[in-house]
Amino acid sequence: MQELKMKGIYKHFKGDYYLVEDIAKDSETRETVVIYRHLYGDGSLCVRPLKMFLEEVDHEKYPNVAQKYRFELQNIESVAENFKK
């Protein structure tokens, strides 16, 4: 299982990008949930159980998806590095 990176940008297997804001505990079930922000549209917040966030894509249901995990951490490098003096 992959590890969660705080403030990491993740790509959902369907294509959109999200920023992991934090983790929390559901007050009723005590289940650990991920709090993440849409990096499109209104930038709203969502929550999802940690286990579900980190799980693999169901390739029987989605056979044409190349991505292994439901959400995958993206390595986004700074372009400002090119402008340092």
Q: Would the pTM count as exceeding 0.85?
A: yes
Domains and CATH numbers, the chain: 9-75 (2.30.30.320)
Is the predicted pLDDT of residue 76 greater than 90, yes or no?
no
pLDDT value at residue 79: 80
Specify the long-range contacts of residues 29-33, CB closer than 8 Å, at least 24 apart.
Answer: none
Reported confidence tier of residue 1, pLDDT bands at 50, 70, 90: low
23-61, pLDDT tens digit by residue?
Answer: 999 999 999 999 999 999 999 999 999 999 999 999 999
Coil, helix or strand for 50?
Answer: helix
CB 59 within 8 A of CB 70: no
- Quick one: which of 76, 82, 77 has its CA closest to 10? 76
Chain centroid offset of residue 23 CA: 12
Is the predicted pLDDT of residue 84 greater than 70, yes or no?
no
